[in-house]
C-alpha cells in the first residue's frame, strides 16, 4: 500500500523513496528510469507486462508531464491488462483503491513533474 505521496517522495510499505519507482507484486523497484525521461516506452514496463497483474496504474507526475504513446497502451491491452495513466496524486489513490478491492495491480510512478 502506498502510505503517502508528496512531490518528489513516496512512502510505500514503510519505506520512503525519492526516485521514480514501480510496484509489482508487493515489491518496490526503486530508481526507475525510462528510456526517455518524460516519455513512457513499452520496454520501460517490460517487467510489469510479464507479471501476473490485472491492472497497471501509471502515475504521470505531479503535473502529468510523462507522455504515454498509444502504442504503450495498446501493448498493455494486448496482454489483457487494464491500463490507467493519470497524474501521480490521482494514480496513488486509484492504486490504493484497487489493491483494497483485492485486484492484482501494478504501479509505475513518476514522482516529480
Report how many domains make up the chain. 1
**Continuous segment of H or E residues that includes residue 92:** helix 88-100
pLDDT digits (tens, 9 = 90+) for 61-94: 999 999 999 999 999 999 999 999 999 999 999 9
Give the strand order in the sheet containing 55-60.
27-29, 21-24, 105-110, 55-60, 82-86
Q: pTM for the full model?
A: 0.96
pLDDT digits (tens, 9 = 90+) for 43-57: 999 999 999 999 999
Domain of 57, CATH number, reads 3.40.1230.10
Instruction: Tell me which residue range forms the domain holding 67.
Output: 2-110
pLDDT digits (tens, 9 = 90+) for 12-31: 999 999 999 999 999 999 99
Sort 41 into a burial class: Cβ within 10 Å, 0-12 / 13-18 / 19+: middle
Amino acid at each position: 500500500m502506498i502510505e503517502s505521496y508528496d512531490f518528489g517522495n513516496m512512502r510505500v510499505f514503510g519505506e520512503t523513496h525519492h526516485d521514480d519507482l514501480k510496484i509489482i507484486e508487493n515489491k518496490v523497484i526503486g530508481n526507475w528510469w525510462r528510456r526517455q525521461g518524460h516519455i513512457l516506452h513499452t520496454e520501460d514496463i517490460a517487467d510489469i507486462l510479464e507479471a501476473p497483474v490485472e491492472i497497471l496504474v501509471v502515475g504521470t507526475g505531479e503535473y502529468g508531464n510523462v507522455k504515454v504513446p498509444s502504442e504503450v497502451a495498446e501493448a498493455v491491452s494486448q496482454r489483457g491488462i487494464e491500463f490507467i495513466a493519470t497524474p501521480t496524486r490521482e494514480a496513488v489513490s486509484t492504486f490504493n483503491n484497487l489493491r483494497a478491492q483485492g485486484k492484482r495491480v501494478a504501479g509505475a510512478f513518476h514522482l516529480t513533474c
